[in-house]
């Protein structure tokens, strides 16, 4: 239990740090951060705080889907955006293409490791993850369809509001899945190892 709690909080903190790194790289961010960035531009509220607010409103969408939040869900709403806001105050914007790509790729790797940590802790999905799995369960649509519909919608709205869409957005989309796939088996707290054998739980990742 101690390991699970530590993983949860470290993972959520690092997730926000990784997102902040992609923001400061200036080459494009993931769809939800594009939306948070766009709203931030028009409201003056920090991107991290907007991410927290978005998480709360996404959680409200769980109600008609009959999804029940876990401890990890609430912690996700409170901590990811907060750590992102703190990291944005510490990490300066990056200039120079090589440095930008280095920070961008570093941020994506950090997000992948963070995802493995908090998902592997098994305290419940984040609000955005739960929205997609809830749609899948309630509507019967494939997970990839739910994910594509939700993320294309928030990406379009965020882009129209002025959020940063670019090569970083594309790289995030292509790299995050495989990287999390590598991280999860190593960080899953339900993974057990006996001499000569290993049993790993299967986890569906957003």
Distances from the Cα of 140 to the Cαs of 144, 169, 193, in angstroms? 12, 28, 35
Q: What total of structural domains would you count in the chain?
A: 1
Mean pLDDT calculated for residue range 109-131: 91
Mean pLDDT calculated for residue range 138-148: 88
Tokens of 18: 């990784």
| pTM to 2 decimal places | 0.86
In a domain, 137, yes or no: yes
Residue 125 banded pLDDT, cuts 50, 70, 90? confident
Mean pLDDT calculated for residue range 77-91: 96
Provide φ and ψ at 76, rounded to 5°: -60, -45
pLDDT in tens, 28-72: 999 999 999 999 999 999 999 999 999 999 999 998 888 888 899
In a domain, 20, yes or no: yes
The whole domain housing 111 covers 2-199
The whole-chain average pLDDT of the chain stands at 89
| Residue 133: per-residue pLDDT | 84
In a domain, 43, yes or no: yes
Provide the 10 A C-beta neighbour count for residue 177. Answer: 14
Residue 197 banded pLDDT, cuts 50, 70, 90? very low
In a domain, 204, yes or no: no
| Residue 205: per-residue pLDDT | 39
């Amino acid at each position: 239990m101690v390991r699970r709690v530590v993983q949860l909080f470290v993972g959520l903190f690092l997730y926000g740090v990784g997102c902040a790194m992609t923001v400061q790289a200036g080459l494009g961010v993931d769809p939800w951060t594009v939306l948070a960035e766009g709203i931030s531009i028009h409201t003056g509220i920090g991107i991290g705080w907007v991410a927290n607010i978005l998480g709360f409103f996404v959680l409200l969408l769980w109600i008609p889907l009959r999804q029940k939040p876990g401890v990890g869900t609430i912690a996700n709403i409170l901590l990811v955006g907060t750590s992102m806001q703190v990291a944005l105050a510490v990490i300066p914007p990056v200039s120079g293409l090589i440095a930008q790509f280095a920070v961008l790729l570093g941020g994506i790797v950090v997000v992948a490791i963070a995802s493995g940590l908090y998902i592997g802790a098994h305290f419940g999905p984040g609000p955005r993850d739960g929205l997609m799995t809830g749609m899948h369960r309630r509507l019967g649509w494939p997970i990839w369809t739910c994910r594509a519909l939700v993320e294309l919608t928030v990406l379009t709205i965020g882009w129209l509001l002025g959020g940063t869409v670019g090569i970083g957005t594309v790289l995030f989309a292509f790299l995050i899945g495989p990287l999390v796939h590598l991280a999860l088996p190593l960080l899953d707290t339900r993974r057990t190892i006996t001499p000569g054998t290993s049993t790993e739980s299967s986890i569906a990742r957003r």
